[in-house]
Amino acid sequence: MQNLTEFPGNATSHKSLSVIIKVCVVIPFFCVFLCCIVVMLNIFASHRQFLDTSRYILFAYMLINDTLQLLSSVLLFLFVMGQVKFALVYCVPLLFISTATFQNTPLILATMSLERYVAIFYPLQRPAAWRSDRIWIIILSLWLISCIFPIIDHTIGEHDPAVDALSTPVLCKATVVNSSPIQTLFKAVVSILFFAVVAVIILFTYMRILLETRKLRQDRVSVSKAMHTVLLHGFQLLLCMLAFTSPITETLIVLHANWLQEDVAFFNYFCFILIPRVLSPLIYGFRDQSLRGYIAKTFLCCSNKVKPCIRGKLQDVLSAS
């Protein structure tokens, strides 16, 4: 009888420990990402030459978008881990931001590839919308497109009449709020459409730039750099598409390992959503030679500021002793 009465307590403590470990894994990972993003955005804001180039403006926009996406997804993760329930009126905007920014990323990658295409093929007669002072028009268009589909998704859903949007507390998960079959089908179709269109655009720009590289005898270096950049966008798109492998990995893990459902969900979130979203902008940012130089200078300045403080404290200790 004593063992039977202690079993629920042991299970509860084991579950609490599991939640703490998951949170302690996700939060430092996100904080490191946020620190790198803040450094890069500060470099953009401090150096005018980056704001005068369309490519860097689009990259800064991608950094802000991915930061919003990760921030909203981490908040949702923490709410689910803590079993925090609140009204739909607060949950829906958070899910809306997470979905819109998730769908916005492939659109940004396609736009950045097209920007490289325009820069190579129309260097002197660049269309007005692709100039640095007009690129905000394209950015607003991307936001509009990425926001339309979450709105449609929410309106076509079947809402439970027993749930009051202002007062009824619910667990803030997409499977709870948007659970109707038509919404699941709509999201699958939209995701496939988004990534298929972006994949075609990236492949088209890569092939055109590759053919142009063979034709040109001069300025091969810039064309080759543009080709590698477009290829990197394809890799970034592949990282984004890892989020859609969750159903496959869930099935494989359930068949070959005796994992709990929440452990499987955490594994998928960390490996196929969090890590790819963190790596995608960082790889692109640290690959850029100009940006990499400023990042190195920033960290060197920080380390040089820390060392005198440490030396001063050591001298104070030695003099006191």
DSSP assignment, residue 170? Answer: E
Phi (first) and psi of residue 87, to 5 degrees: -70, 155
Give the percent of the chain with pLDDT over 70: 80
Place of tokens 């958070």: 94
Measure Cα distances from 220 to 213, 257, 288, 290 in Å. 6, 52, 18, 19
The predicted model scores a pTM of 0.83
Cα–Cα distance between 226 and 206 in angstroms, integer? 9
DSSP string, 34-52: HHHHHHHHHHHHH-HHHHT
171 membership: H or E segment, kind and range: strand 170-171
**pLDDT score at 248:** 67
DSSP assignment, residue 86? Answer: E
* 146 vs 277, more confident: 146
Max CA separation in the chain (angstroms): 85
**pLDDT score at 318:** 37
CB contact burial 288-319 (16+ within 10 A = b; e otherwise):
beebeebbeeeeeeeeeeeeeeeeeeeeeeee
What are the counts of helices (DSSP H) followed by strands (DSSP E) for the chain?
A: 12, 2
Mean pLDDT, residues 297-317 taken together:
57
**pLDDT score at 308:** 54
151 within 8 A of 75, measured Cβ to Cβ: no
Q: Kindly indicate the confidence band of residue 307, based on its pLDDT and cuts at 50, 70 and 90.
A: low
- Mean of the per-residue pLDDT values of the chain: 80
**pLDDT score at 162:** 67
Mean pLDDT, residues 125-136 taken together:
86
pLDDT reading at 69 higher than 50: yes
Q: Kindly indicate the confidence band of residue 220, based on its pLDDT and cuts at 50, 70 and 90.
A: low
CB contact burial 107-116 (16+ within 10 A = b; e otherwise):
bbbbbbbbbb
Give the percent of the chain with pLDDT over 90: 15
Cα 16 from chain centre: 28
Cα–Cα distance between 268 and 249 in angstroms, integer? 7
Phi (first) and psi of residue 221, to 5 degrees: -65, -50
Give tens-digit pLDDT for 21-66.
888 989 998 998 898 888 888 888 888 888 888 989 999 999 999 9
At residue 291, what is the residue type? L
The torsion angle over the Cα atoms of residues 115, 116, 121 and 126, rounded to 10 degrees, is: 30
pLDDT reading at 202 higher than 50: yes
Q: What angle do CA 270, 26, 102 make, to 5 degrees?
A: 55
**What is the Rg, in whole angstroms, of the alpha carbon atoms belonging to the chain?**
24
Joined tokens for residue 193: 């459409």
**pLDDT score at 89:** 84
Q: Which residue segments constitute the domains of the chain, with CATH numbers given?
A: 2-291 (1.20.1070.10)
* 209 vs 313, more confident: 209
Joined tokens for residue 315: 């001298």
Give tens-digit pLDDT for 246-263.
666 666 676 666 777 778
